[in-house]
Amino acid sequence: VSGILVLGREGQLARSLAERAPPHGLALAFTGRPEADLADPDSLRRAVRASGAEIVVNAAAHTAVDQAEDEPEVAQALNATGPQALAEAAQAAGARLIHVSTDYVFDGSGDRPWREEDPTGPKSVYGRTKLAGENAIRAALPAHAILRTAWVYSPFGRNFVKTMLAVAQTRPSLTIVGDQIGNPTSALDIADGILTMIGCWRDDPRRGVGGTYHLAGTGSTSWAGFARAIFALSEAREGPSAEVTEIATADWPAKAPRPLNSRLDSSRFAETFGYRAPPWPESLQKVVDRLLGGDPARD
Ligand SMILES: NC(=O)c1ccc[n+]([C@@H]2O[C@H](COP(=O)([O-])OP(=O)(O)OC[C@H]3O[C@@H](n4cnc5c(N)ncnc54)[C@H](OP(=O)(O)O)[C@@H]3O)[C@@H](O)[C@H]2O)c1
């Protein structure tokens, strides 16, 4: 495989891809704002054409879930119209597109992990615009792979793990939602999954192309359980810790509604490409270690 272009530079997934590419023996090129802006379809077409890439990975999105409720047009442009332009450009160039989507395309009902073919029912602007992006890609480009992930954290950018460790520096106790259940997912594991998939295409370029896959951490917990796990790991390394009190979603005023059952079943990805993320506590430990260990790449 030659010529892999990643859209996104400083985001969690983009930086994780940059870090994990060398051990997979892959070289990636990165682009992003301003020369490739999701809000500017022409800039995306130019970037794909100029790169000569065979594979485009979209690691960029409007990811601010509550903010999206206030700016639905911006979210639609970045999460749907932009990805559609990327897909059209890839189709014109004979390239394939790996696109990342979200558990928030589901309505959160039931109590079993969501499978790819389950009916979608997004509850938020973010979820609706991400679903619109998926559908636009399916319509524009047969050579796609859509990967839905969830609850993403990493040593990079902004995420729940970094927020918890920061807030615990000043507050002895925190109130965290206890009835939303999902799969905490290290962006480094998503990167490993994507790079494994690209590696599979070296031998078998058609494998799994045109499919939608769930790719999330193995095992599930609530946000409160996630927070407790973060603090237990941190405390063991003499890092910041706080008491966690559970609160119900119904009693927590968030602008965007969120699904209660967000669990994703990642079996199809494992069966197709031979990669399954490690159990979430293992991946979490690695990231907490890096965050507390003064890793210079953690910002
Ligand atoms: N974070 C989560 O919990 C979560 C959950 C489920 C699914 N996902 C999905 O996973 C993917 C990766 O998320 P992430 O957590 O890595 O996101 P992130 O850390 O918020 O990074 C977002 C990236 O998008 C780029 N971006 C934003 N607006 C842009 C624009 N107008 N043009 C070009 N690039 C733009 C940012 O660019 P700069 O580098 O210029 O800042 C950044 O690289 C996204 O598709 C997201 O929807 C995330």
* Residue 198, C-beta contacts closer than 8 angstroms, at least 6 positions apart: 1, 4, 24, 26, 55, 98
Q: Report the relative pairing of strands 96-102 and 55-58 from DSSP bridges.
A: parallel
CA of residue 78 to ligand 1 center, whole Å: 10
Whether the Cβ atoms of residue 114 and residue 265 lie closer than 8 Å to each other: yes
Residues with CB under 6 A from ligand 1: 8-14, 32-33, 37-39, 59-61, 63, 78, 100, 102-103, 130, 149-152, 157, 187
Whether the Cβ atoms of residue 116 and residue 213 lie closer than 8 Å to each other: yes
Closest CA to 215 of 175, 174, 272, 170: 272
CB atoms closer than 10 angstroms to residue 25 = 9
Instruction: Return the best residue to mutate from 5, 13, 30, 63 for the ligand 1 pocket (most ligand atoms within 8 A of CB).
Output: 63
- In the residue annotation, 153 being an active-site residue is answered as no
Identify the helix (H) or strand (E) that includes residue 132.
helix 125-140
CA of residue 236 to ligand 1 center, whole Å: 31
- Of the residues 104, 126, 213, 275, only one is catalytic, namely 126
Strand partners, 114: 264
Closest CA to 255 of 127, 65, 76, 104: 65
Calculated CA dihedral for residues 12, 15, 18, 20, nearest 10 degrees: -50
Q: Which residue's entry shows tokens 């002895």? A: 172
Tokens standing for 257? 């509604």
Beta strands in 46-151 (DSSP E): 55-58, 96-102, 144-149
Instruction: Return the best residue to mutate from 152, 263, 266, 287 for the ligand 1 pocket (most ligand atoms within 8 A of CB).
Output: 152
Residue 71: phi, psi to the nearest 5? -140, 65
Identify the helix (H) or strand (E) that includes residue 185.
strand 185-186
Cα 186 to Cα 1: distance, rounded to the nearest angstrom: 25
Whether the Cβ atoms of residue 184 and residue 151 lie closer than 8 Å to each other: yes
H helix intervals, the chain: 12-20, 41-51, 65-70, 72-76, 82-93, 125-140, 160-167, 187-203, 223-236, 267-273, 280-292
Cα 224 to Cα 231: distance, rounded to the nearest angstrom: 11
**Along the 299 residues of the chain, how does pLDDT read in single tens digits?**
559 999 999 999 999 999 999 999 999 999 999 999 999 999 999 999 999 999 999 999 999 999 999 999 999 999 999 999 999 999 999 999 999 999 999 999 999 999 999 999 999 999 999 999 999 999 999 999 999 999 999 999 999 999 999 999 999 999 999 999 999 999 999 999 999 999 999 999 999 999 999 999 999 999 999 999 999 999 999 999 999 999 999 998 899 999 999 999 999 999 999 999 999 999 999 999 999 996 655 55
The total number of residues shown for the chain amounts to 299
- In single-letter form, the type of residue at position 278 comes to P
CA of residue 58 to ligand 1 center, whole Å: 9
Nearest-5° Cα angle at 60, 204 to 11: 105
